[in-house]
């Protein structure tokens, strides 16, 4: 009988072939199973995860949502076509005025008669800011959009008094010099804005007013106290980690910030952008796993910070900047026409996996803002004659339109592939939303570039009731884009899928995002 031990030659051959085995794209089975138990929930889905973001950057506001003198704009200067597209996106929470811009924005420059507002050197993005779109314009726009406003205060070059007085101007009902100024400018009643950010990306050396974690914690603490004393009902968002560069201690930053602010904040802000600069499709599709990892780590840091606090004290995560961003990036991005990414199908698939991740962490992720709304790394793209919807618009629209209720904790089995950094990346990425009326929404991203994959959904505690409607975001290939002349990638309504008692079977196409919507009995 041959000795079962490997010879040196056999061992060497195995070592030589190991990288090839590790990087093999396909496992032995193409079938996937998903077990659904409505008693196993992750958490309540907060509609604020379908938020978006406006910054005074490039053509996001000027020439985007706000275009005075354009025949496409209303009497307030708001682009009517952009407003319609944003409404159809079901934007829940709109963040403003930045972003890096907020770290040198002084809100009093943006109130009063438009023609009298000062023109300022804008150092974040290398332009002149005319301040014609300010607090009143933003809050009027949000009201027309039907979203909630989220204002990010200047904790870069700004002061405690400035942050406090902005809350007073916007939210306070009493008779003060600041509220009289609001009334003089045409607004009698306060807007009662609930969500306020304590600065933007203060951990980043690129930020105006960048501080160490301890210095930011001390500074933000005093701002938070003054803002809360002005309006105790507001919800505050601390500037958590945005700097994930090699050598940056992002966990240490969050721990220190929470030490100072844990009794005053409701959310910890995190930012995440991903890209595909090496044109490696499978590596790119796996990039959202880093988002999931960072979410779990931040959740643990929050739990550590709240250890010993009263049981009703909660701090949630706000991914208030997230998107694909890598083409229009770098030191050359200065001026008015900048950060204008043109998105393709593979970007839309990554966006769908971002949204799956938010649902799969619904217990801790309660705010998310895609950056940004128009033209600048955005789902909506305009010129002076019209607009088109980019590929990334469609998965966000499907989630925001349909995923309500609770996120379900799914048990999944599916084939995997390996990348340079991960041994087993699932080809299929899932999430599910279940509402009290029995509506079930199943989300499936098929990362496989070439193969359709079969999925069997198994209801554990209920039965599928009737047909499930199918929507699919796909295109002829992974590099397919939309433009002003044609829409190649969009959400198409597919043939309904019939369920058989406890089993719902479907086949998801290569490089696609599929959403199935139906009911459980």
Alpha carbon distance 351, 65 (integer Å): 22
Q: H or E stretch including 88? A: helix 80-88
Q: What Rg value do the Cα atoms of the chain yield, rounded?
A: 24
142 vs 454: CA distance, rounded Å:
42
Instruction: Report, as an integer, the average pLDDT of 289-308.
Output: 97
CA nearest neighbour of 172 among 233, 85, 231: 231
pLDDT at site 18: 36
Q: In the predicted model, what is the mean pLDDT of residues 136-148?
A: 98
Average pLDDT value for residue range 124-147: 97
Largest CA distance in the chain: 97
Percent of the chain past pLDDT 70, that is, above it, reads: 94
> Per DSSP, which regions of 45-130 are E strands?
52-53, 93-96, 120-122, 127-129
Q: What is the pLDDT of residues 342-384, one digit of tens each?
A: 999 999 999 999 999 999 999 999 999 999 999 999 999 999 9
User: Got the DSSP string for 377-420?
Assistant: S-SEEE-SS-EEE-TTHHHHHHHHHH--SEEE--EEE--EE--S
Tell me the C-alpha to C-alpha distance, in Å, between residue 233 and each of 62, 156, 172, 259, 302.
Answer: 32, 24, 11, 22, 22
User: Given this model, what pLDDT does residue 361 score?
Assistant: 98
pLDDT surpasses 70 at 6: no
> Crossing angle of helices 80-88/135-145, nearest 10°?
50
Please give the pLDDT value at position 362: 98
Q: Can you name the residues that pair with 121 across neighbouring β-strands?
A: 128
Annotation: CATH topology of 27-43+408-520: Immunoglobulin-like (2.60.40)
Q: What is the pTM of this model?
A: 0.93
Domain layout of the chain by residue ranges: 27-43+408-520, 46-402
Of 96, 91, 99, 86, residue with least CA distance to 49: 91
Q: How far is CA 95 from CA 115, 150, 168, 367, 500, in A?
A: 25, 5, 19, 11, 44
The pLDDT value recorded for residue 415 is 97
Tell whether the model's pLDDT for residue 482 goes beyond 80: yes
CB 297 within 8 A of CB 251: yes
394-440 per-position pLDDT tens digit: 999 999 999 999 999 999 999 999 999 999 999 999 999 999 999 99
Confidence of residue 332 (pLDDT cuts 50, 70, 90): confident
Q: Flag whether pLDDT at 12 surpasses 80.
A: no
pLDDT per residue as tens digits for the range 490-514: 999 999 999 879 999 999 999 999 9
Mean pLDDT of 93-100: 98
pLDDT above 90 (res 4): no
The pLDDT of residue 183 is: 98
Residues 106, 119: Cα–Cα separation, whole Å: 12
Residue pLDDT, tens place only, 207-253: 999 999 999 999 999 999 999 999 999 999 999 999 999 999 999 99
Can you give the pLDDT at residue 333?
87
Q: Can you name the residues that pair with 120 across neighbouring β-strands?
A: 129
Query: Are the C-beta atoms of 218 and 288 separated by less than 8 Å?
Result: no
- How does the average pLDDT of the chain come out, rounded? 94
Domain at 46-402, CATH from 3.20.20.80, 3.90.1300.10, 3.40.190.100, 3.40.710.10: 3.20.20.80
Residues 392-402 pLDDT 10s = 999 999 999 99
pLDDT at 209: 97
Residues marked as catalytic: 201, 321
Tell me the percentage of the chain whose pLDDT exceeds 90: 91
Each residue of 237-249: b (16+ CB within 10 Å) or e? bbbbbbbeeeeee
Of 465 and 3, more confident: 465
What's the confidence (pLDDT) of residue 29? 57
The burial class, CB within 10 Å (0-12 / 13-18 / 19+), for 458 is middle
**Band of residue 19 on the pLDDT scale cut at 50, 70, 90:** very low
């Amino acid at each position: 009988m041959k000795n079962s031990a490997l010879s040196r030659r056999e061992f060497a051959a195995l070592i030589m072939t190991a990288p090839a085995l590790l990087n093999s794209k396909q496992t032995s089975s193409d079938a996937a199973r998903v077990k659904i138990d409505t008693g196993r929930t992750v958490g309540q889905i907060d509609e604020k995860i379908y938020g978006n973001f406006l910054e005074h950057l490039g053509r996001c506001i000027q020439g985007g949502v706000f275009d005075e003198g354009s025949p496409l704009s209303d009497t307030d200067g708001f682009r009517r076509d952009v407003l319609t597209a944003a409404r159809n996106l079901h934007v829940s929470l709109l963040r403003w005025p930045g972003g890096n811009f907020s770290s040198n924005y002084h809100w009093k420059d943006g109130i009063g008669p438009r023609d009298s507002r000062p023109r300022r050197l804008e150092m974040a993005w290398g332009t002149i800011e005319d301040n014609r779109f300010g607090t009143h314009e933003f809050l009027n726009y949000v009201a027309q959009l039907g979203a909630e406003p989220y204002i990010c205060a200047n904790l870069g070059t700004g002061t405690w008094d400035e942050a406090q007085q902005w809350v007073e101007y916007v939210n306070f009902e009493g008779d003060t010099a600041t509220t009289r100024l609001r009334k003089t400018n045409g607004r009698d009643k306060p807007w009662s804005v609930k969500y306020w950010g304590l600065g933007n990306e203060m951990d980043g050396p690129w930020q105006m007013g960048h501080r160490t974690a301890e210095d930011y914690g001390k500074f933000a603490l005093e701002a938070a106290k003054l803002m809360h004393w002005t309006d105790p009902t507001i919800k505050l968002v601390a500037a958590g980690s945005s700097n994930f560069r090699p050598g940056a201690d992002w966990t240490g930053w969050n721990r220190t910030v929470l030490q100072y602010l844990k009794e005053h904040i409701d959310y910890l802000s995190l930012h995440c952008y991903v890209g595909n600069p090496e044109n490696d499709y499978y590596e790119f599709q796996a990039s959202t796993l880093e988002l999931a990892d960072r979410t779990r780590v931040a959740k643990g840091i929050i739990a550590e910070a709240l250890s010993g606090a009263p049981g009703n004290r909660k701090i949630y995560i706000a991914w208030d900047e997230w998107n694909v961003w890598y083409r229009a990036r770098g030191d050359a991005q200065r001026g008015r026409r900048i950060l204008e990414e043109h998105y393709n199908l593979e970007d839309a698939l990554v966006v769908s996996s971002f949204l799956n991740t938010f649902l799969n962490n619904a217990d801790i992720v309660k705010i998310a803002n895609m950056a940004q709304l128009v033209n600048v790394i955005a789902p909506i793209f305009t010129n002076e004659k019209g607009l088109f919807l980019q590929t990334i618009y469609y998965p966000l629209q499907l989630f925001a339109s349909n995923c309500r209720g609770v996120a379900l904790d799914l048990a999944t089995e599916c084939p995997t592939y390996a990348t340079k950094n991960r041994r087993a990346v699932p080809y299929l990425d899932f999430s599910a939303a279940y509402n009290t009326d029995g509506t079930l929404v199943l989300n499936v991203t098929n990362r496989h570039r070439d193969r359709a994959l079969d999925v069997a959904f198994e209801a554990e505690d209920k039965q599928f009731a009737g047909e499930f409607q199918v929507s699919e975001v796909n295109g002829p290939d992974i590099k397919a884009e939309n433009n002003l002349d044609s829409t190649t990638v969009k959400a198409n309504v597919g043939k309904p899928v019939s369920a058989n008692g406890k089993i719902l079977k479907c086949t998801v196409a290569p490089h696609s995002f599929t959403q199935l919507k139906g009911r459980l009995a």
